[in-house]
Amino acid sequence: MNLKKSGFSTRAIHSGEKSSENGPMITPIYQTAPFTFKDAAHGARLMSGKEKGYVYSRGLNPTTEVFEEKIADLEGGEAALSQASGMAAISAAILTSVKAGDHIITDEVLYGGTYDLFVDLAKFGVKVSFVDTSELNSVENAILPQTKLVFLETPANPTMKLTDIKAVSDIAHEKGAQVVVDNTYMTPYFQQPLSLGADVVVHSATKYLNGHGDTIGGVIVGSSEFISAARHTAKNIGGALSPFNAWLITRGMKTLAVRMDKHNSNALEVARFLEGHDRVARVIYPGLSNFPQKVLAGKQMKGNGGMIALVLKKTSDVPLFLNALKLCTLAVSLGETATLVQHPATMTHAVIPVEKRLRYGIVDELVRISVGLEDADDIISDVDKALEP
Ligand SMILES: Cc1ncc(COP(=O)(O)O)c(C=O)c1O
C-alpha cells in the first residue's frame, strides 16, 4: 500500500508492517538469533553484503525492521537503526560521526546520561564544547575547524529550554558540521527536526514512542548513507534492540498521535493549575503564555508535549511534595501512561557538578513532571494535596 499521502496516524499504524494475504496481520516477534541460508553461495552473498537479507539479529531482524521503517517514515528520514536503549542510539550516532581529534558542540542542558557520555568522550580524544545553543552567537563562536557535530536536545531535559533547529543547522552546515537532534520530548508528532534542516534524529524509544513504560529502546533516523554507516558501527558495538522490545515499541507507536494529544492537553491543565499556586515560583511549559521562547515554540513545534519543569519557592518543599504524592509516581523516565515526578538535581541530573548544574538552571527547587494519561482532574487533585502546607 502506498502511504505517501496518508496522514500521521495512518502511517503510524500501517507503515513498515509486513502483513501478507492470510498471514498474520501484526508482524510476529521473530525471536531468533540466526537466520538460515538457502545454500553456501547464498550465505556468502549475504555475509559479504552483496545481497541484502537476514543473517543474525544483532544486525537485522524482521521485527525490529518494522519499527525502523515506521519511525523513519514518521520522522521523514530515509532510514533508521534501532538500538537497545536511547543511550545506545546516541552513542552509536556519535561514534558514527566523529573520530579522535574531532570536535562536538552541544548544549549545557542535556539528559544527565548524555551529558556524562559527552564528558567521557575526552578519553577518546574527542573535544566537546558545552555552550548555550539557544544563543546562536555561542554556537557560531564555538565552531572550530575540527567541528564535526552539533548535538541538540530541544526542549532540553529538564529545563524546557528550546534551541532553534533551523538556525543552528544553517550555521553548522556552513562549516561542514552535521546536526543531531534528540527528539525524545516532542516525538515526530509534534516536531520533525529533519524537515527543519537537522541531519540525524535520535530517540529514547523507552519514552513516548513506546509510551507504556515497559521497555527500553532507542533509535537513530537519518539518510540511508548515515544509517548504513551507523549500522556498521553499531553491529560491532553490539547494542541491538531485542525483537520483543521492538514489537512492544511498534505497538505503542500506533497510538502515538492520540496519546500525544492527551499528554498535551493534560499537561496544559496541570501547568495552568500550578502557575497560580502560592508555593510555586515558576512553571516552565511551552503552552503557557509566559513561556520565554513562545515564538520559537510556535515556529518549530506543533504541540507543547507532556513535560513540565516546576520550580518550587523553597528547596525544603521538594521532598515534602514528592513524598506526599499518592497518584503521581515518584520515578525517573517519562512519556508513559502514568504521571511520573522526579527531582533532577538529585536524580536524573545528579551526575552534573553542582556549580555547573546551578549555572545551567537545573536548580535544587526544580521538579520534573511527566504528565501522564490519567484524568487531568485526578492529577491536579493529587498535586494540589501534595502541595498543601
Ligand atoms: C531526552 C533523553 N534522551 C535520551 C535518554 C536516554 O534514553 P534511555 O534511558 O532509553 O537510554 C533519556 C533518558 O531519560 C532522555 O530523557
Mean pLDDT over 226-236 rounds to 96
pLDDT per position as a tens digit, 138-150: 999 999 999 999 9
Do residues 118 and 260 both lie within one domain? no
Do residues 175 and 110 both lie within one domain? yes
Report the pLDDT value the prediction gives residue 290, as an integer from 0 to 100: 97
Do residues 106 and 134 both lie within one domain? yes
CATH number of the domain that residue 343 is part of: 3.90.1150.10
Does residue 339 contact residue 355 with C-beta atoms inside 8 Å? no
Report the pLDDT value the prediction gives residue 210, as an integer from 0 to 100: 98
- Residues annotated catalytic, as ranges: 58, 111, 182, 207
Cα(124)–Cα(110) distance, rounded to whole angstroms? Answer: 21
Answer yes or no: is the C-beta of 85 below 6 A from any ligand 1 atom.
yes
Mean pLDDT over 370-389 rounds to 97
> 341 CA to middle of ligand 1, Å?
15
Report the pLDDT value the prediction gives residue 19, as an integer from 0 to 100: 80
Do residues 207 and 281 both lie within one domain? no
> 373 CA to middle of ligand 1, Å?
20
pLDDT per position as a tens digit, 148-170: 999 999 999 999 999 999 999 99
pLDDT value at 56 more than 80: yes
Alpha carbon separation from 296 to 161, 202, 291 (Å, rounded): 10, 21, 10
- Residue after which a domain boundary falls, among 253, 285, 315: 253
Ordered DSSP codes for 88-152:
HHHHHHHHHH--TT-EEEEES---HHHHHHHHHGGGGT-EEEEE-TTSHHHHHHH--TTEEEEEE
Enumerate residues 6+ apart whose C-beta is below 8 A from 225. none
Q: Residue 3 falls within a domain, yes or no? A: no
Q: Residue 222 falls within a domain, yes or no? A: yes
pLDDT value at 137 more than 80: yes
Out of 111, 161, 334, give the residue to mutate to test ligand 1, the one with the largest number of ligand atoms within 8 Å of its CB. 111
Q: Closest Cα to residue 389, out of 315, 271, 282, 278?
A: 278
Answer yes or no: is the C-beta of 210 below 6 A from any ligand 1 atom.
no
Does residue 213 contact residue 372 with C-beta atoms inside 8 Å? no
pLDDT value at 262 more than 80: yes
Taking 3-state DSSP, the helix, strand and coil percentages for the chain, each rounded to the nearest 5, stand at: 40, 15, 45
> 48 CA to middle of ligand 1, Å?
34
Answer yes or no: is the C-beta of 84 below 6 A from any ligand 1 atom.
no
At 92, is the pLDDT very low, low, confident or very high (cuts 50, 70, 90)? very high
Do residues 169 and 316 both lie within one domain? no
pLDDT per position as a tens digit, 193-218: 999 999 999 999 999 999 999 999 99
Report the pLDDT value the prediction gives residue 18, as an integer from 0 to 100: 85
Out of 67, 151, 184, 201, give the residue to mutate to test ligand 1, the one with the largest number of ligand atoms within 8 Å of its CB. 184
Mean pLDDT over 209-234 rounds to 98
Position in ligand 1 atom list of the atom nearest CA 157: 1
pLDDT value at 120 more than 90: yes
Mean pLDDT for all residues in the chain: 97
Query: Considering its fold, how many domains does the chain have in total?
Result: 2
Answer yes or no: is the C-beta of 153 below 6 A from any ligand 1 atom.
yes
Position in ligand 1 atom list of the atom nearest CA 90: 4
Position in ligand 1 atom list of the atom nearest CA 206: 10
Buried b (16+ CB within 10 A) or exposed e, 324-339: ebebbbeeebbbbbbb
> 85 CA to middle of ligand 1, Å?
8
Above pLDDT 70, what percent of the chain? 100
Answer yes or no: is the C-beta of 382 below 6 A from any ligand 1 atom.
no
Mean pLDDT over 269-278 rounds to 96
Do residues 105 and 237 both lie within one domain? yes
Report the pLDDT value the prediction gives residue 299, as an integer from 0 to 100: 98
Cα(42)–Cα(166) distance, rounded to whole angstroms? Answer: 45
Q: Closest Cα to residue 149, out of 116, 123, 182, 112?
A: 182
Q: Which domain holds residue 31?
A: 8-253
Above pLDDT 90, what percent of the chain? 97
Out of 90, 114, 334, give the residue to mutate to test ligand 1, the one with the largest number of ligand atoms within 8 Å of its CB. 114
Cα(62)–Cα(209) distance, rounded to whole angstroms? Answer: 19
Do residues 318 and 348 both lie within one domain? yes
Answer yes or no: is the C-beta of 113 below 6 A from any ligand 1 atom.
yes
pLDDT value at 2 more than 90: no
> 32 CA to middle of ligand 1, Å?
27
Mean pLDDT over 71-75 rounds to 98
Answer yes or no: is the C-beta of 118 below 6 A from any ligand 1 atom.
no
Report the pLDDT value the prediction gives residue 293, as an integer from 0 to 100: 98
Report the pLDDT value the prediction gives residue 1, as an integer from 0 to 100: 74
Taking the whole predicted model, whether its pTM rises above 0.95 is answered as yes
Report the pLDDT value the prediction gives residue 48, as an integer from 0 to 100: 95
Q: Residue 2 falls within a domain, yes or no? A: no
Do residues 61 and 210 both lie within one domain? yes
Does residue 14 contact residue 6 with C-beta atoms inside 8 Å? yes
Report the pLDDT value the prediction gives residue 4, as an integer from 0 to 100: 84
- φ, ψ for residue 355 (rounded to 5)? -65, -35
